[in-house]
């Protein structure tokens, strides 16, 4: 006798994916705009339907069981297929509407996106923008997994599987110090000179840190890294009060810091947009790409 078919519920799969990715029922609830008991109820219903436990709950730790680990990639594919099917049907009607899920960094959200979002929401008011602020690395991974449709990010140094990139904003980097820091008046400023003073850099493993390390690698300097964080605005604040030097985007310069060029070293990162090459882009995503390119042309011509 064949086993009965299990009617999988899409809301339960969304809850399962959110808990699996965050390893937290409370964080998953925040992501889904639900209460924690509602998420727990959906997971319990899914486990009952499948007749297997999907998570081990030990104290506050949540981990996938073998069954959960097996289900996760399949659940992502099911959810993505349903989402893409709904989008394709809406796109047939030529509508620019629905929900557009975007991931971006706090830095890009502060310094690059405001004019883009202003233009977009004025042109396409029926689109519901769902913007998650996260590290560029996490945004790229979320696009890879199909959880986000677009990532407006610092572009990776190396190609990532299934991702298409479009560079939009060249983002030159320079040395930032407090105006009264010894490096503010050091001429010439060399990588070897930097090594004599404590540094505050973007966190290890970030795309920005990778670009910095690649630029300095030929000079074989061993830096004194006193602190590291993912938040560039926080780094700039610590630099401005004299806690160390850093390498940050030139676009962040202001009166409370001195910005210096490093002799013999060119440092730059690229900001742009990423999407999944095997995922059909929605009309809303295509319209967002047009707005991004419009703003790029405005900045370039200025």
Is the predicted pLDDT of residue 2 greater than 50, yes or no? no
The pLDDT of residue 299 is 55
- Of 257, 262, 251, 212, the residue nearest 237 (C-alpha): 257
CATH fold of 10-80 reads Arc Repressor Mutant, subunit A (1.10.10)
Share of the chain above pLDDT 70, in %: 92
The pLDDT of residue 209 is 94
- CATH number, span 82-169+271-301: 3.40.190.10
Is the predicted pLDDT of residue 5 greater than 70, yes or no? no
- Do 10-80 and 82-169+271-301 agree at the fold level? no
pLDDT digits 0-9 by tens, 214-229: 999 999 999 999 999 8
Domain at 172-268, CATH homologous superfamily = Periplasmic binding protein-like II (3.40.190.10)
Q: How confident is the model at residue 280 (pLDDT cuts 50, 70, 90)?
A: confident
Q: How confident is the model at residue 1 (pLDDT cuts 50, 70, 90)?
A: very low
Which sequence spans correspond to the domains of the chain? Answer: 10-80, 82-169+271-301, 172-268
Is the predicted pLDDT of residue 267 greater than 60, yes or no? yes
């Amino acid at each position: 006798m064949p086993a009965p078919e299990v009617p999988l519920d899409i809301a339960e799969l969304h809850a399962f994916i959110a808990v699996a990715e965050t390893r937290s029922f409370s964080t998953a609830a925040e992501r889904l705009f639900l209460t924690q008991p509602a998420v727990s109820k959906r997971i319990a219903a899914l486990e009952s339907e499948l007749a297997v436990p999907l998570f081990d709950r030990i104290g506050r730790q949540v981990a996938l069981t073998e069954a959960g680990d097996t289900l996760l990639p399949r659940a992502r594919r099911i959810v993505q297929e349903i989402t893409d099917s709904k989008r394709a049907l809406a796109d047939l009607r030529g509508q620019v509407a629905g929900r557009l899920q975007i991931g971006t960094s706090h830095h890009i959200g502060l310094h690059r996106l405001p004019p883009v979002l202003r233009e977009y929401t004025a042109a396409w008011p029926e689109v519901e923008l769902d913007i998650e602020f996260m590290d560029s690395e996490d945004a790229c991974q979320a696009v890879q997994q199909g959880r986000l449709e677009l990532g407006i990010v610092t572009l990776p140094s190396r190609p990532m599987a299934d991702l298409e990139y479009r560079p939009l904003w060249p983002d030159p980097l320079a040395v930032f110090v407090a105006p009264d820091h010894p490096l503010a008046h050091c001429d010439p400023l060399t990588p070897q000179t930097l090594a004599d003073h404590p540094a505050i850099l973007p966190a290890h493993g970030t795309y920005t840190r990778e670009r910095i390390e690649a630029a300095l690698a030929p000079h074989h300097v061993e830096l004194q890294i006193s602190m590291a964080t993912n938040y560039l605005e926080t780094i700039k604040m610590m630099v401005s009060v004299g806690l160390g030097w850093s390498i940050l985007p030139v676009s962040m310069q202001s009166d409370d810091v001195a910005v210096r060029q490093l002799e013999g070293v060119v440092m730059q990162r690229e900001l742009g947009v990423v999407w999944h090459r095997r995922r059909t882009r929605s009309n809303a995503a295509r319209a967002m790409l047009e707005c991004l390119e419009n703003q790029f042309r405005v900045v370039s011509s200025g």
